[in-house]
Amino acid sequence: MKKKGTKKKKSKPEIFIELKDVKKYYHMGDSIVRAVDGVNVNVRRGDFVAIMGPSGSGKSTAMNLIGSLDLATKGNIYLDKEEIHNFTESELAQIRGKKIGFIFQQFNLIPNLTALENVMLPMVFQKVDEYDRQDIAESLLEKVELGERMDHYPGQLSGGERQRVAIARALANDPEVILADEPTGNLDTKTGEIVLEFLDRLNDEGKTIIMITHDPKLALKHADTIFWLRDGKIQKVTNGNRKAK
């Protein structure tokens, strides 16, 4: 008799960013501000994660810790299985530049550089050849549908266009993770939805997306997993509706 085949369980993607009992405290006079107070977060490759919470909940501090822009007061932070405390600031900056792309609420574009030059800039720090930098930047601006706006300066672009330049810049070094801090915070609803559609598309292409937001509707619609933060602590972890799309 033929043995019935047994289906192998599909293994989960490996964890790419991990925070273990992470705390970030600030001293303000005689007081201690517990901005992040014992947080545990796992982000797997290919996830779309939302860090959700009201103003003052610790979202911005959590973003800086998750993106390795800041070091924890206590606890352990791992980036691609490496504990970030083991790196010098110079080494960490290089690793961060290759592995994580950042999208900021305020866009953070350099006003005296064109859209093309803004997208090329992160590649300078990774020592990408000048001709390759231009080719990659042009391709990325085409990807975010700004092929005809490459030579425009940020002041000549709408808010939505500036955010799309910021997305292209975040992709410049082909990072595995996109960390988006309130990516629709300065945009109207329609333009914000266009920006989030780009993030959805990047996630479909295999990029890991971590979005910081105060808007539960955005978190529920676009994320796989939502970490609900309040007073520096994670109150709960829930599933979003992205998998149901």
**Residue at 134 is within a domain:** yes
Q: Please report the sign of the dihedral spanned by the C-alpha atoms of residue 159, residue 161, residue 162, residue 168.
A: positive
Q: Give the other-Cβ count within 10 Å of 166's Cβ.
A: 27
Is the pTM higher than 0.75? The answer reads yes
**Residue at 90 is within a domain:** yes
**Residue at 19 is within a domain:** no
**Residue at 187 is within a domain:** yes
Q: By the 8 A CB rule, do 119 and 75 touch?
A: no
User: Count of alpha carbons within 13 Å of 239, Cβ hemisphere only?
Assistant: 5
Please write the tens of the pLDDT for every residue from 106-164.
899 999 999 999 999 999 988 899 899 999 999 999 999 999 999 999 999 999 999 99
CATH number at residue 137: 3.40.50.300
Backbone angles phi, psi at 213, to 5 degrees: -155, 155
Alpha helices for 171-210 (secondary structure H): 189-204
- Helix (H/G/I), strand (E/B), else coil: 119: helix
pLDDT of 190 over the 90 cut: no
Beta strand 74-79 with 15-28: parallel, antiparallel or unpaired?
Answer: antiparallel
Q: By the 8 A CB rule, do 103 and 163 touch?
A: yes
By residue range, what is the domain housing residue 141? 48-58+86-244
- For the chain, the domain total comes to 1
